[in-house]
């Protein structure tokens, strides 16, 4: 299993950070695609480098970043010190859940959604199985239909496929 500093180094090498204007732009367009929904507060669950958190903050949302890996929180503190990093998940209008759920067991996911109930969830998770999934901590890869069923079981309905940040992005709303 990869360590947090190794994972951060790989992400930064791939351009997943504040140094890459294309990635920052992707985060900005991701934030703007939900502007017509009644969303004021956003929690970026598994915030990684914090670029999505910053994009939503810059778009006027009250944002919080939740990230368990110290290397990532240190990066956020260095490159976006204005962002609020929280120590436990909270209920917000929108939860960003971008490329995180495949790193969690169903037991962990069930515990999360027992603790919080965001009104909207912007979810993106790959359905593609690769030879390196185990190395990257991909322990819960589901088809897109299985993710929809999972969220339906938690009381959410899929209201829209989204264009960003990935082809797998979906917007769910609590029923």
- What is the tens place of the pLDDT at every residue in 54-113? 999 999 999 999 999 999 999 999 999 999 999 999 999 999 999 888 878 899 999 999
Count of residues making up the chain: 175
What SS3 class is residue 126?
Answer: coil
The candidate with the shortest Cα–Cα distance to 62, out of 89, 42, 44, is: 42
pTM over 0.85: yes
CATH number for the domain running over 4-174: 3.40.50.150
Backbone φ and ψ for 13, nearest 5 degrees, come out as -65, -30
Domain segments of the chain as ranges:
4-174
Q: What is the pLDDT of residue 105?
A: 87
Tokens at 47, concatenated: 């915030």
The pLDDT score that the predictor gives to residue 58 is 98
**pLDDT score of 135:** 60
Percent of the chain with pLDDT strictly greater than 90: 82
Q: Is 36 exposed, middle or buried (0-12, 13-18, 19+ CB in 10 A)?
A: exposed
Average pLDDT, stretch 135-152? 82
């Amino acid at each position: 299993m990869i360590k947090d500093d190794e994972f951060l180094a790989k992400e930064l090498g791939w351009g997943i950070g504040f140094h890459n204007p294309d990635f920052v732009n992707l985060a900005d367009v991701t934030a703007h695609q939900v502007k017509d929904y009644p969303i004021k507060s956003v929690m970026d669950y598994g915030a990684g480098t914090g670029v999505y958190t910053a994009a939503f903050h810059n778009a006027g949302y009250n944002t919080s970043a939740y990230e368990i890996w110290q290397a990532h929180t240190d990066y956020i503190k260095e490159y976006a010190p204005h962002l609020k990093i929280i120590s436990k998940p909270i209920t917000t209008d929108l939860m960003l859940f971008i490329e995180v759920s495949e790193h969690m067991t169903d037991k962990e996911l069930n515990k999360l959604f027992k603790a919080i109930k965001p009104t909207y969830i912007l979810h993106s998770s790959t359905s593609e199985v690769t030879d390196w999934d185990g190395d990257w901590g991909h322990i819960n890869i589901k088809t897109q239909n299985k993710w929809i069923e999972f969220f339906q079981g938690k009381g959410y309905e899929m209201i829209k496929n989204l264009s960003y940040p990935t082809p797998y992005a979906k917007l769910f709303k609590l029923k």
